[in-house]
Structure 1
Amino acid sequence: MLNPAAAPPRTPQGRSSRIEPKKLVIPAVLLVLLVLMIANTKFLFGSQATEAAPGTFSPASYAQEKYQSEISPDIEKRATDLTTVATAIKADQAAAAKQYGVVSGSSAPVFSVKFTGTAAKPLDSGLVQVAVPGLPADVKVFVQVGPAVNGTAIRDATGKVEFSQFKNQIDYQNVGAELNNQVKQLVLKNVDKATIEGKQLSVVGAFQLVSPTSFVVTPVKIDVK
């Protein structure tokens, strides 16, 4: 006769509550696999993650690819004599924008221009005023010579770089900044601001119409004579 005291305890359903060894094997294996996965995973943070992610848009790469191959040549091709553009703006800004400028959305028009004039002493703001013969007497012209290059005239001058081409406003803004960096690296790097005063500058560039009597030109080409 069996001793009832020797029988294993049973659950309310009548089954033994003893845990079988096999049931511990699977969780143990999973734990080992998890540890191995963590040990062999490289975690990236900040800019590392952005650069490593496949398909991530790079404003700097975009600017490097497009500036010399498309944007700068297009501005040079579009460039109209500055005196012609300034006279047209004084007469009728809307008509001048339609004839000589490029309008992106609701932004002010951007004009591609070329001119030759005499440089004044560079300002601390990174601008140098240029006296251009033939301009209306009340019109002042400044050229951005760095170190800072501001605005989006280079980005917007051709009409080929549009917001709809980018994922968001941040990428669109960053492209403008990186195109300005191309200007600094490729155009302004060889301009000696310390000796520019009194010299003749031949400039090709673009400006956004903020004031009809003060133009701030971002250059894509400067010849110092």
Structure 2
Amino acid sequence: MDRRIAWIVLALALPLSGCKIVQIADQEANAPAGFDAAAYADGIWTDEVLPYFSEAARPVDEVVPAITGDFAGAAETYGYRPGEGSPWSFVVSGTGRVLAKNTESRAGTMDVAVEGVEEPVVVQIGPVIRGNGVRDALPFVAFKDFTNQLEYANAGKALTALALDNFATNAEAVAVGDTVTFSGAITMTSASDRILVTPISLEKAGS
């Protein structure tokens, strides 16, 4: 009986002899690092994002009348979208006089009268910025380059945060009646959407 017990114990022990027991702490230490959206956005901001907006921007007094007159035609001429069904993005720049500064809501806006545009151009000034206008305007930031929807969303938030950092102080100093220059993106899915500029830069003219 003792010999049979000994063989059973040996048989149970053999499968474990080729296994490596890894502590949970070791598993966590060797796990791949999570996506750092802030580092990603910071890594492309100066060398890619800012130059792209500078080079791609078209005059807002040219783009907005085109959008309101013939959205489909304006989209083909001035717009960008990564694929069928995605929103259209229009990169614009302009100068105009501030008619109103709306800060009652945290999603603040500024109404800017631009010569050649019938209605005031509405520019987001935050601190809450709606949408992902900055991300969606960039042809080199594509959903396929991210692991999942969450990473893509976080990249958009991080890019928006950098844009806000870039203009927030200037926006606070602007008063009604001031003349401002701005550049940014308009994102729309159809002609019925509100025309809203998400800026990457905004400052008093001549400052």
- Would you say same fold, with TM above 0.5? yes
Taking the TM superposition and a 5 Å limit, the aligned residue runs for 1:1-225 are 17-18=1-2, 42=25, 53-54=31-32, 56-105=34-83, 106-119=85-98, 120-123=100-103, 124=105, 125-136=107-118, 139-185=119-165, 187-193=166-172, 195-209=174-188, 211=191, 214-225=194-205
1:42-82 C-alpha deviation (Å, 9 max, x unpaired):
379xxxx6x97435432222111112221221012111111
TM-score of the two chains, using structure 2 as the length reference: 0.78
CA contact (8 A) 2:113 2:121 kept: yes
In our comparison, the structure showing a higher alpha carbon Rg is: 1
The runs of 5 or more residues in structure 2 that have no matched partner are: 14-20
TM-score of the two chains, using structure 1 as the length reference: 0.72
Q: How well do the aligned residues superpose, as a CA RMSD in angstroms?
A: 3.1
Stretch moving more, 55-64 or 68-77: 55-64
Identical amino acids, percent of aligned pairs: 30
Query: Residue 157 of structure 1 aligns to which amino acid in structure 2?
Result: A
Query: Residue 74 of structure 2 aligns to which amino acid in structure 1?
Result: A
CA contact (8 A) 2:135 2:141 kept: yes
Query: Residue 42 of structure 1 aligns to which amino acid in structure 2?
Result: A
The runs of 5 or more residues in structure 1 that have no matched partner are: 1-16, 29-36
How far apart are residue 201 of structure 1 and its match? 0.9
Query: Residue 221 of structure 1 aligns to which amino acid in structure 2?
Result: S
How far apart are residue 149 of structure 1 and its match? 1.5
Query: Residue 79 of structure 1 aligns to which amino acid in structure 2?
Result: A
User: Comparing both structures, which one devotes a greater share of its residues to strand?
Assistant: 2
